[in-house]
Structure 1
């Protein structure tokens, strides 16, 4: 649109907005210090049992290379206090850009839930575990100064300079899938030397290494400078795929395991029926669900059934690992002239947020007999109409032959 030979102001604003929206946000590399509140966890074998004592510390990932939109204002470097209120683990990260670094940098501003735990391993080596929704991070770092008693580090309220030797991330830590679905598990490792990544499945007390020899499994490896990415894809999920998947990362003298849980959730198929012989019985079939736990209850006209008790069959397991169960309810028949009783089968299962509710009407014998008679009459009418249509077509064909 033009006004007096000039573009309309609203159109100019729209064009400018489109240009700004269409322009690519510049992605740059910059370094930042990431400060995370952590728990210092120590194994406590006192009182005859095994547990952990925890003390509050701070973990500072220093000189982290971030890939993203650089802030307009330069981020200040972390300055260790002369008299810290708690022990600070100051870990220098001399690694390739971390894909999740920007997320860690803004985790407090976004109000995202984060867990951080650091523990001594042996000699000067420490392990830190950082957990966010849909992301798990493991850090192996070595103290740059001798530490005489790692158990007392948190009490001393000191600055512990460290160097990160290996960093591993995995996602998602826990995932659910239905039968025939496809799932993808990711594992990334950053290290100063050659990094090897393998996948294992732990199930029912036994484990084995996964390989692409299974046609349903694909393992993709991508190697970059000082970084290894491994992606495990499983197609056409079945019950036997459920378990604990372990991403094992080895480099130099370090070995780190990341745990990823895969759960199979298959909702039930529910059907309901009424049979009149030998007694009037309402049957609710709950088929092909996984895992085993399922709850079946009954309602009569919207209220819990109390006048009869259901009989439940034993669970049946199918060749694909899913389960089935049936619930039977022997019910009285309404008196002639009374309205139908509405029985509702309610099935709850962990695969569903809301239960499945399916209902059936139980009629009086008089009403049921009347309905059956109506069905028989309609059936005979359809048969007669079919015979008449057949006779008419044959007669029409003979008439056509005579006229030819």
Structure 2
């Protein structure tokens, strides 16, 4: 027992030493240059009206700070070519806190032996004067960058054609991950908006729904906004508890500084799976009913099978969609079906419900038994009649025995 206690104490001391040593190891910071292929989008007023022209360009994010273990071999700095094949937007990140997704961007285009790791969408467009906006989209990640050219630009459309190197500085960077979420009713969801910048910013949240938008009402006890600040990075987290269908919509994170205004769009979709029940009734015809209740959104597909095969001889009747108090929907599907022939096995009717909230259709079955024939009713009648006759005879015999017993007593 003493040995066991000493061993346990020794393990605790070793664990404490390891934790202290890990805490003492500083997080390494290093800078990298990230090169991304992009489209340069320009507004064009052509014959068919307003549109966009796109040309291939290169976006280089220089001096991006990364926190973590530094690679064994330092990453080479990007050197602008003298005669570039495409226009290069050389955007330098000045005094920005480490980007949590920098490693992901760094290896987004190619992995081992040139194998592509992840698709990336990148688009740059001019705003006004020397200001440009870049939007980068990956799976579950959206990034918006506001960058300013070091010198005035005469005409924005010449940048792509002349294939120049345009030095710029990143003034504001906003990211959201993930930019789209799907949640069920009564769940809790958190939408994040991360902001990097050298100046003080203000973050507001708006909800766009059914063609109208409004600033979020923070008097709603279900909604809270939490802000965290670390160096030149600010995180705004919007949390909504006990979700209902009215919470679905487009949430806009509006980031404002003294000079700039950037928006990040986040989608919240409600996905509530249907509750499916089936039943069979006789009133007076045999009716099979499939109830599909409390699903969202509206579109749902209800189909029937008979003994595993599609129905051909019976057409279902489907009720109109009903809107429930919680905003979900319900619908019923009915079948008037013939009963199987006497002596045949029961028919199995299958209700299959497909909805965007479930990967596979919801399957429910009900069995319709054969009808009882007249012969069975006749047999039942004679069985009951025989039982009554036997009981009558037994009662008569008991009465006769009782009379004989009374005579002997007299």
TM over 0.5: yes
- The equivalent residue for 2:235 is 229
State yes or no: 1:117 paired with 2:123.
yes
Q: Is the 8 A contact 1:140 1:166 kept in 2?
A: yes
- The equivalent residue for 2:402 is none
- The equivalent residue for 2:139 is 133
Deviations 1:292-344 (A, max 9, x none): 00000000011100101000000000010000000000001111111111100
Q: CA deviation at 1:226?
A: 2.3
- The equivalent residue for 1:287 is 293
Greater Cα shift, 138-147 or 323-332: 138-147
Q: Is the 8 A contact 1:40 1:117 kept in 2?
A: yes
Q: Is the 8 A contact 1:67 1:101 kept in 2?
A: no
For 2:27 and 2:53, the matched residues in 1 are separated by 43
Within the candidate set 180, 190, 196, 1:190 is matched to 196
Within the candidate set 240, 249, 270, 1:243 is matched to 249
Within the candidate set 159, 165, 171, 2:171 is matched to 165
- The equivalent residue for 1:179 is 185
Within the candidate set 340, 346, 352, 1:340 is matched to 346
- The equivalent residue for 1:53 is 53
What are the ranges of 5 or more consecutive residues in structure 2 without an aligned counterpart? 1-13, 112-116, 381-410
State yes or no: 1:298 paired with 2:299.
no
Greater Cα shift, 37-46 or 317-326: 37-46
Q: Is the 8 A contact 1:211 1:219 kept in 2?
A: no
SS of residue matched to 1:366: coil
For 2:356 and 2:51, the matched residues in 1 are separated by 31
For 2:286 and 2:372, the matched residues in 1 are separated by 14
For 1:190 and 1:134, the matched residues in 2 are separated by 19
State yes or no: 1:101 paired with 2:102.
yes
For 1:122 and 1:212, the matched residues in 2 are separated by 34
- The equivalent residue for 2:213 is 207
Q: Is the 8 A contact 1:291 1:322 kept in 2?
A: yes
Q: CA deviation at 1:224?
A: 2.8
Q: Is the 8 A contact 1:67 1:102 kept in 2?
A: no
- The equivalent residue for 1:32 is 32
Q: CA deviation at 1:23?
A: 6.3
Q: CA deviation at 1:105?
A: 1.5
SS of residue matched to 2:109: helix
SS of residue matched to 2:74: coil
Higher radius of gyration, 1 or 2: 2
Q: Tell me the TM-score normalised to structure 1 length.
A: 0.84
- The equivalent residue for 1:87 is 87
- The equivalent residue for 1:363 is 369
Please show how residues 248-397 of structure 1 align to structure 2 within 5 Å: 248-366=254-372
State yes or no: 1:69 paired with 2:84.
no
SS of residue matched to 1:107: coil
For 1:325 and 1:45, the matched residues in 2 are separated by 49
CA RMSD of superposed structures (Å): 1.9
SS of residue matched to 1:108: coil
SS of residue matched to 2:302: strand
Deviations 1:89-140 (A, max 9, x none): 0001011221211221222245012111000011111000001111110000
For 2:321 and 2:45, the matched residues in 1 are separated by 43
- The equivalent residue for 1:382 is none
Question: Between Structure 1 and Structure 2, how many residues are aligned?
Answer: 351
Within the candidate set 219, 225, 240, 1:219 is matched to 225
Q: Is the 8 A contact 1:338 1:364 kept in 2?
A: yes
Q: Tell me the TM-score normalised to structure 2 length.
A: 0.82
Q: Is the 8 A contact 1:191 1:251 kept in 2?
A: no
What are the ranges of 5 or more consecutive residues in structure 1 without an aligned counterpart? 1-14, 375-404
